[in-house]
A and B are shown apart, each in its own frame.
Chain A
């Protein structure tokens, strides 16, 4: 399963224990280059300098929710930044939330508790280049 060596991953999660859990899960999947952010604003600044290949983002954060963060990301002037793949990690499996996230062009939606296998599957999909329409 160690297929994510050197992949740049940004983890956005406001709860330190959950950040530690996701980071350890990523380490078990290889040796990715992991950065972390505890809120949406810090995440936007980190993306501009770190250029992650994929972002793992919690939804239930304050003051900016995960969905608001993705909305802001998709509205950025820089095309590369705008197109950054995002996988949502959340405890909220409500259909309305999933539908709202889908409209924002996310690459995956995982409901906690997540497993390393589910995370690996979603990461592979998110890292596969999309065919342009």
Chain B
């Protein structure tokens, strides 16, 4: 096999392991689940992961700077961060249950616990440059019931088409 063929073979193998939204998938729980459901679960997991990571970074920023904040700003940021922490844990628990049962849920129901607190946090995170506006818009869109059909790349932490 020449070098070019090895490149092509490696590429084909890498493409084979990538996701797709058609057909059934045998998941890690052993259940056979429609691919669209698995993709929705993956997208929600991507979003929760990204929000959790940026939230963790913002909490560190908050802890480092809260002594210099005016009391009202500090109280407001604490409330947003604390509410979102509760919501993120609740959403993750719902997602795990959805993964185990593969029925009876949707991205909307999984993300409902962060529905109230996430938008304000996303604005804070964008201002702090922990997220791009495009990333925040993807999450807000999902919270508003817009599927992530345009593609969201958690690996590069960017929405598809983002600058």
- Do A and B belong to a common assembly? no
- Tell me the A residues contacting B by CB distance below 8 Å: none
Q: Which residues of B contact A (CB under 8 A)?
A: none
